[in-house]
Amino acid sequence: MSSVYDFSANTIDGQSIKLDAYKGKTLLIVNVASKCGFTPQYKGLEALYKKYKDKGLVVLGFPCDQFGHQEPGDEKEIMEFCSLTYDVDFPMFAKIKVNGDDAHPLYKYLKNEEKGILGTTNIKWNFTKFLVDKTGKVLKRYGSIDTPDSIDKDIAPLLA
């Protein structure tokens, strides 16, 4: 696999989508959770999406329940929470695993393209973010503590 465009994923409403549908867009791919200390980042992610979607940014949210059982709901409950609590309008996907043998192939790829601290590959917690350019190349990995606001400076130049 040579880019994120080589993968498919199920949307939160169960539709399979090839990520090449986002060719030519800058992507921010995030593993999300509804009951995490970082959950308020949904607000910042949505703000980034609204600010830049007309310039080509797409935020992709991938719910994951591998960290402290902080995404216990099913897809319907997750979408209701995101919509009602944070007015999330960016694309959301079905719940996945990001670590282990059953990790989604997209996440296996992302983790190998941009390793974490000290060269580790595993995702450490919810709201790890990957910035992908318009050609599908993974540019940077951000930890949970990196807020959407702090990532803005890296996104803006990619949209010019």
Indicate the DSSP class of residue 141: E
Known catalytic residue: 36? yes
d(CA 130, CA 138): 7
54, two tokens: 């007309």
Catalytic residue among 9, 36, 106, 123: 36
- Closest among 147, 88, 40, 68 to 78, alpha carbons compared: 88
**The pLDDT of residue 1:** 58
With contact defined as beta carbons under 8 Å apart, do 42 and 144 qualify? no
Domains of the chain as residue ranges with CATH: 4-159 (3.40.30.10)
How far is residue 26's CA from residue 18's CA, in Å, rounded to a whole number?
16
Pseudo-torsion of CA 116, 98, 107, 24, nearest 10°? -100
User: What is the C-alpha to C-alpha distance for residues 97 and 93, in angstroms, rounded to an integer?
Assistant: 12
Tokens of 148: 């959407």
**Of 160, 158, 110, 127, residue with least CA distance to 9:** 110
For the chain, percent of residues with pLDDT exceeding 90: 92
Q: List the chain residues with pLDDT less than 50.
A: none
Tens of pLDDT, residue by residue over 113-158, are 998 877 888 999 999 999 999 999 999 999 999 999 999 999 999 9
**pLDDT value, residue 120:** 81
Could you give the CA distance from residue 32 to residue 151 in angstroms, rounded to a whole number? 16
